[in-house]
A = this chain, B = another copy of it.
Amino acid sequence: MFTILPIKGYIDQIDGFYCNGVSAGLKPNGKFDVGFIYSDTPCECEAVFTLNKFQAAPLVHFQRYPKNFKTNFLLINAKNANALTGEEGIEDINAIFAELGKKFDLINPIMSSTGVIGNRLPMDKIINAAKSFDLSAKSGENLSLAIMTTDAYPKATMYEVILKDGSKFKIGSVAKGAGMINPNLATMLCFITTDANVPRADMKELLLRHTDTTFNAISVDGDTSTNDTVLLMANGKSGAYDKEAFSEALRLVMHDMAIAIVSDGEGAKKSVAFEVFGAVSDRDAEIAAKALSNSLLVKTALFGEDPNYGRIASTIGASRIECDPKTLTISYNDVVVYDKGKIVFDKECEIRAGEVLKNQTFKIKCDIGLGNGKFTAYGCDLGYEYVKINADYRT
């Protein structure tokens, strides 16, 4: 028995964590572009990283610390991914922390970067900005603004968990997303902090468990970045812990952030759940659901609010899972448009399906009709804005 309550505000509400965002001049017009999370005691820290073989320098830097290292400081910058920068990219991070160490008491500091791939970090700007940090600041809002790239709005979530003995802990997150969002993480950074007294061994296990149904279930464009990171920092200050409660709260945080990211896919106006069930295996359902969330023809039809279910069926067939048109049923929310091989898509059906598509969020349900395998993937539409953002991104 436990209670999980959503609460307002940012991760700065968690005991012992401090954060802020400032302008280092990387973004134009004085927008925040560098931020930090500081813990006044060393934190247990685990992360899940991109499957891209060209992991960016901050990810390599992190993984060179000894197993089970603790940290008290995370530095984050936007506009430059510090990716494809080789050993020099890692030396840059060490040089930054050497400078900051002269002013702050840093324990195994770590870094996280997002932005353009293939450029060295602008060292002076980042060092100067970071030296101005006030480590007693409590502005999760500024931090959430600093890590945005093409995000349309900041992303944060917070929960309080009350265990049956009355003890409590908090868990929350700030995240950024927008482009390169894909099964197997994305250019997404998600920083989760908690004062739960979570054992180190549980952190990695639970992060991995929930990644598959949250961040690995979303897609904006099918690209996998060099920098994807889900980071969990736990300072244990509440003294409270229950594995089941913590797992569920962590899942909620990760689900919230995954949905926030896909809803804010570059230029996206619609957030769609692709529920595939009745497949011969969960794996088959996952393949089909992800194929749907990644299909350009499906995504542009969503943008056009066109109940073109033929593209949905064709994408399932092209995914090569076990399937048969004679057992397949497709619905938009509860409007059935294809029923076990029968075309039921008359004029009235088209109007009702079209109404569903006008919503900002809805489900596309595909019953493969062959077994019990199921998976839900989350996607968005793709329109002119996506092209505009990505054709102009560097310039």
Cβ contacts under 8 Å, A388 to chain B: 384
Q: How many angstroms from the CA of A343 to the CA of B295 in the assembled complex?
A: 33
Q: Does A85 contact B (CB under 8 A)?
A: yes
Complex interface: stretch among A49-57, A197-205, A246-254: A49-57
Complex interface: stretch among A5-13, A91-99, A219-227: A219-227
The 8 Å CB contact of A384, one of B311, B338, B387, is: B387
Overall SS of chain A's interface = loop
Are A391 and B303 in contact, CB atoms less than 8 angstroms apart? yes
Cβ contacts under 8 Å, A343 to chain B: 84-85, 118-120
Are A391 and B222 in contact, CB atoms less than 8 angstroms apart? no
Q: Does A392 contact B (CB under 8 A)?
A: yes
Q: Does A356 contact B (CB under 8 A)?
A: no
Distance in angstroms from A321 CB to nearest chain B CB is 8
Q: Does A314 contact B (CB under 8 A)?
A: yes
Distance in angstroms from A276 CB to nearest chain B CB is 14
Q: How many angstroms from the CA of A54 to the CA of B315 in the assembled complex?
A: 9
The 8 Å CB contact of A304, one of B54, B300, B338, B390, is: B390
The 8 Å CB contact of A391, one of B53, B306, B309, B318, is: B306
Cβ contacts under 8 Å, A81 to chain B: 310
Q: How many angstroms from the CA of A293 to the CA of B300 in the assembled complex?
A: 19
How many chain A residues touch B (CB < 8 A): the figure is: 68
Cβ contacts under 8 Å, A321 to chain B: 53
Distance in angstroms from A232 CB to nearest chain B CB is 24
Known: A117-B311, A119-B343, A310-B118. A54 touches B303 (CB 8 A): no
Q: How many angstroms from the CA of A310 to the CA of B187 in the assembled complex?
A: 13
Q: Which residue of B lies closest to A85 (CB)?
A: B343
**Which of A53, A55, A316 has the most C-beta atoms of chain B within 10 angstroms of its own C-beta?**
A53
Q: Which residue of B lies closest to A309 (CB)?
A: B118
Are A313 and B84 in contact, CB atoms less than 8 angstroms apart? yes
Are B391 and A387 in contact, CB atoms less than 8 angstroms apart? no
Contact with B along A305-328 (1 / 0, CB 8 A): 010111101111110110111100
Q: List 14 A-B contacts (CB under 8 A).
A: A52-B317, A52-B318, A53-B320, A54-B313, A54-B314, A54-B323, A84-B338, A86-B326, A184-B318, A224-B318, A296-B296, A296-B382, A296-B386, A301-B394
* Known A50-B318, A306-B394; further 19 A-B contacts with Cβ < 8 A: A51-B318, A52-B317, A54-B313, A54-B325, A81-B310, A84-B325, A84-B338, A116-B308, A118-B343, A118-B345, A179-B297, A180-B297, A223-B318, A225-B318, A300-B391, A303-B387, A303-B391, A382-B387, A384-B388
Q: List residues of chain A with CB under 8 Å of any chain B CB.
A: 50-55, 81, 83-86, 116-120, 179-180, 182, 184, 221-226, 294-297, 300-301, 303-304, 306, 308-311, 313-318, 320-321, 323-326, 338, 341-343, 345, 382-384, 386-388, 390-395
